[in-house]
Chains A and B, each alone.
Chain A
Amino acid sequence: MKLSKIREILQAEVLVGEGLLDSIEVDAGYASDLMSDVLAFASPGVLLLTGLTNIQIFRTAQMLDLQTIIFVRGKMPGEDLLQLAREVEMPILVSAMSMFEAAGRLYTGGLSPRAISRN
């Protein structure tokens, strides 16, 4: 699914990467406020839904090669995070929806979960 479609589903505002939305395809998502779990369980290439906005959220996404971060509950990241995201052209979106609603709408819209591996 194109990020532009995801933006539409989540009625999201684009903070970084407006011009990239039609060129990035995402097929799976991971939703969590616990970065410890994101680091352990999120697969590369997924989009991350989270309500935490500190700069380590970006670093976590960057280490894992996640495609994009969507902040839920209308949480706005600081300029320091946005600056790092601009440098590596990682799209950053913000949606007023709850994490539950955002994940539910994306799931219904066609995004999949990825199996969690504990090996």
Chain B
Amino acid sequence: MSSPYVESYAVDGTELVSIGEASTKIKSVLKMLGIPSDLIRRAAVVAYEAEMNLVIHGGGGEMELEVWPECIKISAVDTGPGIPDIGKAMTEGFSTAPEKIREMGFGAGMGLPNIKRNSDGFELLSEVGKGTTLRSEILLQKT
């Protein structure tokens, strides 16, 4: 089994203007690796929504990209307040985003459902007071 291409990105939880920097890097790495553009776009949306959640809700955290021969894996891990009700958080339209984020055009409760929609595999683990881990997988070769 070959080993994956791995990169990690620290996401600053205090700078709203820097949201998207990690995702931009992820997008350019995938492009460099010659991944098909429709899959890059799905991965970029997953990464960007996850990065936004890290900043809005997690107080920052870490993202990781793994590129395997058969799939792309993106994870976002924070040690923030956690999600009390994952079912609710996954409901389209449900949002706890602050006003300043909504003024920027985000925080409409679309992010997590959109990540799931763009993923072939999706996992969201959270513990109140400890943090949240999101994992997304996008298949490169459909079997």
Contact = CB atoms under 8 A, between A and B. Distances in A.
Contacts of A33: 105
Interface residues of A, number: 23
A17 interface: no
The majority secondary structure among interface residues of chain B is helix
B132 to A, nearest CB: 19
Contact of B23 (A38, A44, A63): A63
Interface stretch (A7-15, A20-28, A54-62, A99-107): A54-62
Interface string B45-75: 1011100000000000000000000000000
A33 B108 CA distance: 11
Interface in B71-129: 104-111, 113-114, 117
B114 A40 contact: yes
Q: Which of A55, A57, A80 has the most CB of B within 10 A?
A: A55
A60 B45 CA distance: 8
Question: Which of A44, A50, A65: most chain B Cβ within 10 A?
Answer: A65
A63 B105 contact: no
Interface of A: 33-40, 44, 50, 52, 54-57, 59-60, 62-65, 80, 119
Interface of B: 16-17, 19-20, 23-24, 27, 37-38, 41, 44-45, 47-49, 104-111, 113-114, 117
24 contacts: A33-B105, A34-B108, A36-B110, A36-B111, A36-B114, A37-B110, A39-B45, A39-B48, A39-B110, A39-B111, A44-B37, A44-B41, A54-B17, A54-B105, A56-B105, A57-B105, A59-B24, A60-B48, A63-B23, A63-B24, A63-B41, A63-B48, A65-B41, A119-B117
